[in-house]
Amino acid sequence: MYINRNPYIGHDSQLAGAEEYRLIGGKGDGMRLARIWNGKGLDLTISPDRCADIARLLFKGGNLGFFSAGGYAAPQYFDGVGFGFLKNFTAGFLTTCGLNAVGTPGTDDGEELPLHGTISNTPAERFSISETDDAFLVEAKIRDEGIFARKLCMARCIRISKTENRFCIRDRIVNTGDRQEPLEILYHMNMGYPLLAPDSELLIASDSVKARNARAEEGIDRWMTVEEPQEGFEEQCYYHSFSEDGLAAIYSGKLGCGLAIRFDAKQLPYFTQWKMMGVRDYVMGLEPGNCHPDGRAAMRREGALTFLKPGEEREYEVCVEILESKETFDALK
């Protein structure tokens, strides 16, 4: 148990802290939120009622993530049919996609699958925040289970450092049922204004990049460029491949900071860059996953779909670090 021994402060939260809230009004009415700040500039808002995803990410008061026009939306507004996911897609800094499906809606093995699955609209059954001398630990248990249905249980731990501006998300997913189940997961991390702006620099240290479709192919030579918001912009997606260490980063000279996303490309061998330069839909997704977003049936056809046997588990980890100077960003190159 963490005990404050600092003689200069009355309450721990003068330097760093964690507080839990409930929203009032709008589609987010009643939703639980947990805000954690580490005393060095890092400030996260986590949503226990939405898979313990990260709704907001700030550094020294500056916004880093994308918050969609839909705003906060409680799970009861989720429409799990076709593209209904978009009706309450808050985005935030992190939306977890899966576990039954990622990407394009469709049918696989007789099951109707919606856009990006259902886990991001599943409330945590258990949620807790603990503190040590050097970190906050957020732990959540999210069940993707039902009668006559898949039985996958996810244990999430978010470790937020108090000694450096860094946090890591670690998920352990277990098949608690009696049949083999497909498993898809994608960490839909969304960069937003003012971190994302035309002066922003983007780095994705991949071995190769390819366009998802003909629309993306039109801009393949500008995949790393951040443009002004454009009316009627149609999204472009690029698939990046890494040999071992996954790294993507973005830096804003005007904001004076950026962030880097690190992951094990053997655990999460697919990386999607979602480029959406629309008016008020202005976002860059940097998204490691164990699949691409063309739908579960496509992954099955390619022989690349992950399966969990009864009792089997998988563990995934993604770490985010704040880049506090241009030098730290340039050093990544």
pLDDT, residue 1, reads 74
pLDDT, residue 244, reads 82
Q: Which fold has domain 16-332?
A: Beta-galactosidase; Chain A, domain 5 (2.70.98)
Q: What contacts 257, CB < 8 A, 6 or more positions away?
A: 59, 60, 62, 195, 251, 322, 323, 324, 325
Q: Is the preceding omega at residue 323 within 30 degrees of 0, hence cis? A: no
pLDDT, residue 314, reads 98
Q: What are the extents of the domains in the chain?
A: 16-332
Q: How far apart are alpha carbons 321 and 251 in whole angstroms?
A: 12
Question: With left for phi above 0 and alpha for psi between -120 and 50, is residue 267 left, alpha or beta?
Answer: alpha
The structure tokens 């093995």 sit at 109
- pTM (global) more than 0.95: yes
b/e 13-39 (16+ beta carbons within 10 angstroms → b): eeebbbeeeebeeebbeebbbbbbbbe
Angstrom distances, CA of residue 251 to CA of 47, 201, 281, 320:
26, 5, 20, 13
Q: What tens-digit pLDDT sequence spans the chain (333 residues)? A: 777 788 888 888 888 999 999 999 999 999 999 999 999 999 999 999 999 999 999 999 999 999 999 999 999 999 889 998 999 999 999 999 999 999 999 999 999 999 999 999 999 999 999 999 999 999 999 999 999 999 999 999 999 999 999 999 999 999 999 999 999 999 999 999 999 999 999 999 999 999 999 999 999 999 999 999 999 999 999 999 998 899 999 999 999 999 999 999 999 999 999 999 999 999 999 999 999 999 999 999 999 999 999 999 999 999 999 999 999 999 998
119 is written with which tokens?
A: 């886990």
pLDDT, residue 105, reads 96
pLDDT, residue 12, reads 85
**Cross-strand bridge partners of residue 111:** 108
pLDDT, residue 92, reads 98
| 3-state SS track over 182-216 | EEEEEEEEEECCCCCCCCCEEEECCCEEEECCHHH
The structure tokens 């935030």 sit at 92
Q: How far apart are alpha carbons 227 and 127 in whole angstroms?
A: 39
pLDDT, residue 127, reads 98
| 3-state SS track over 156-186 | EEEEEECCCCEEEEEEEEEECCCCCEEEEEE
pLDDT, residue 2, reads 78
